[in-house]
Structure 1
Amino acid sequence: MKKMSRRQFLKGTFGVFAAGVLTAGGGYGYARYLEPHMIETTKHTIKSSLIPHGFDGFKIVQFSDTHLSDYFTLDDFRTVILTINESKPDLIVFTGDIIDNPDTYHNYQAVIPFLRKLQAPFGKICVYGNHDHGGYGTDAYKSLMTSGGFTVFRNAYQKLTLTDGSEIEIAALDDLMLGKPDYEGTLSKLSEKLFSILLVHEPDAALNTKTYPVNLQLSGHTHGGQIQLPFYGPLITPPYGKVYTEGMYQTDDTHIYVNRGLGMTRLPLRFLAKPEITVFTLKSTN
């Protein structure tokens, strides 16, 4: 087990204290009952000379970390489904953690019709998160998502090809915490001549992908910390979500996006970390 640094200890201690103040103060009602339902749709345009003209205007919708539970219910999920379909996506991606506690959640079959209602002409893709493997949920997650019309990507690669011959690449890594991500076996298939998208639950995977031609990485996992303070940012973020915590980052030719997710874990609170659905529009600059 790694030793906690003094900085990490102080930040963790301050985080616990701040969360206690938030809980005890008037902000509790907002963080518990209001913000968790204030779903934002954020929009980004991704420009690259590698994006072929056929994919100009191609729309990808990402949602993540629903953590279905007593706190993020199927009624909340219904709102998510409607919002995503209203965006008219070409492709839908889910970046992990569908259910908070797979070993105690009893509404698996009820989730499937909601997933099936999601519509995108170029399909629906998902990857594993740590909660999807946890609680003996690995096989249950695959069965659930497949029944809902999703293709489950686990250390996988494919080309997405249009009728005019235009191509982009999509790769996906297994969860970093409880899975077995195969960086070399998966990412060595990427070409420097094609625009590539990497789907991986934990954003700090980007620290290990710098030698591969990844143009856009989509991740979740951090929930934006769930609780943030002004001028301070997230109080605590999970392992493999310490460097890239929320929003858009750019390193060299790679865009890294960390979606704040929709549900909650550990504490049923969100403060200055609103739940999020993200819409990406590809733009050719060639």
Structure 2
Amino acid sequence: MLDRRRVLQTLAGLFLSSFGLGGYAYAWEPAHQGVTRYRLKPARWPEGRRLRLAVITDLHVGGPHMPVARVRQIVEQTNALKPDLTLLVGDFVASRTRRSSDPAPAEWAAELARLQAPAGRFAVLGNHDWWQDERAQKELRGPTQSTVALEAVGIPVLENRAVRLQTGAGPLWIAGLGDQEAFVLRRRPRGLPYGLDDLPATLAMIRDDAPVILMAHEPDIFARVPSRVALTLSGHTHGGQVRLFGWSPIVPSRYGNRYAYGHVRENGRDLVVSAGLGTSKLPIRLGAPPEIVLIELG
């Protein structure tokens, strides 16, 4: 199996050998997010119901391209889209050991608290929210610092939990999956899984036939998501972070490019994987620009 860090380092070396391309991949593309729009009518979506979803993921605040000031800009750009519902799909912190100079979680959470959506704002955690929390890793349990910061400003973090909402499009379930790689880097007692995800328990909370939107940081779970779920939303992959002609040389997924980026439809089920906003491992992006996702359902 290819090592993601090694491949990205090799690619970075090739890119940086060319000043123009290297400068673009390091200085320009990672720092300029756009809006990617989708119009979807999932199989289980009620006829005539319309809903606007904004999706933000993989901020990696504290990384070289994500100061708190940029989080503020992303929030303003998202609010300007006037979503009905805003969903945050994990990896709020930088993808490295925390430094004393990094913004405190309360700082970036205070900016995210300014997100405006009449049907609400909800979050799930990503693997780095767990990996960079020393106490959570040592004790193999939460809450993480990211959870505490988000919930302190009124953004619920859904971990294997589903909540029923009343929206302008009618009733809707928002389900959030626990992270699938929370303890990958730690030695665990025998029998303890790598992640905290419990899809059956999460879906068991759904008590009626209202549509279900599932947030899952890593997209790999989609292979097991039943047709009961109208739409699955993920991040994590960064679109491969380097994407050439629609193909990523390395993707942090056991399925490779199958779930690397964008809208995926399989067996009548829908998945949208965002390329996210920050960078991981190496501070470059090429062909996978940062994005806020706006999905218009119905």
Q: Provide the residue aligned with 1:24 in structure 2.
A: 17
Distance 2:242 2:157 in 1: 30
Distance 1:245 1:28 in 2: 23
Q: Provide the residue aligned with 1:226 in structure 2.
A: 241
The answer to whether the 8 Å contact 1:50/1:193 transfers is no
Superposition TM-score, scaled by structure 1 size: 0.86
Q: Provide the residue aligned with 2:51 in structure 1.
A: 58
The answer to whether the 8 Å contact 1:217/1:256 transfers is yes
What is the Cα deviation at residue 163 of structure 1?
Answer: 7.7
The percentage of aligned residue pairs carrying the same residue is 29
Distance 1:151 1:102 in 2: 25
Q: 1:111 aligns with which of 88, 97, 108?
A: 108
Matches within 5 A, 1:51-90: 51-52=45-46, 56-71=49-64, 72-90=66-84
Distance 1:124 1:15 in 2: 33
Rate the CA distance shift 1:79–1:194 in 2: closer, same or farther, 3 A.
Answer: same
What 5-or-longer segments of structure 1 have no aligned partner?
none
Matching residue's letter, 2:197: P
Rate the CA distance shift 1:102–1:197 in 2: closer, same or farther, 3 A.
Answer: farther
Distance 2:202 2:46 in 1: 23
Rate the CA distance shift 1:123–1:24 in 2: closer, same or farther, 3 A.
Answer: same
The answer to whether the 8 Å contact 1:261/1:276 transfers is yes
Rate the CA distance shift 1:81–1:240 in 2: closer, same or farther, 3 A.
Answer: farther
Distance 1:45 1:276 in 2: 16
Q: Provide the residue aligned with 2:87 in structure 1.
A: 93
User: Which runs of 4 or more aligned residues in structure 1 lie more than 6 Å from their structure 2 counterparts after TM superposition?
Assistant: 11-14
Distance 1:248 1:81 in 2: 23
Matching residue's letter, 1:20: G
Q: Provide the residue aligned with 1:47 in structure 2.
A: 41
What is the Cα deviation at residue 225 of structure 1?
Answer: 1.0
Matching residue's letter, 2:222: A
Distance 2:181 2:55 in 1: 21
What is the Cα deviation at residue 48 of structure 1?
Answer: 4.1
Distance 1:198 1:183 in 2: 10
The answer to whether the 8 Å contact 1:114/1:148 transfers is no
Matches within 5 A, 1:1-286: 4=1, 8=2, 16-26=9-19, 27-48=21-42, 50-52=44-46, 56-71=49-64, 72-100=66-94, 101=96, 103-104=98-99, 105-136=102-133, 138-162=143-167, 166-178=170-182, 179-190=195-206, 193-209=209-225, 211=226, 213-230=228-245, 233-240=247-254, 242=256, 243-283=258-298
The answer to whether the 8 Å contact 1:52/1:167 transfers is no
What is the Cα deviation at residue 174 of structure 1?
Answer: 0.5
The answer to whether the 8 Å contact 2:12/2:284 transfers is no
The answer to whether the 8 Å contact 2:43/2:268 transfers is no
The answer to whether the 8 Å contact 1:78/1:114 transfers is yes
What 5-or-longer segments of structure 2 have no aligned partner?
137-142, 183-194
Question: Partner of 1:76: helix, strand, or coil?
Answer: helix
Superposition TM-score, scaled by structure 2 size: 0.83
Question: Partner of 2:289: helix, strand, or coil?
Answer: coil
Q: How many residues align?
A: 272
Provide Cα deviations, 1:135-184, integer angstroms capped at 9, x if missing partner: 226421111111232111000012222489x3222211111011310121
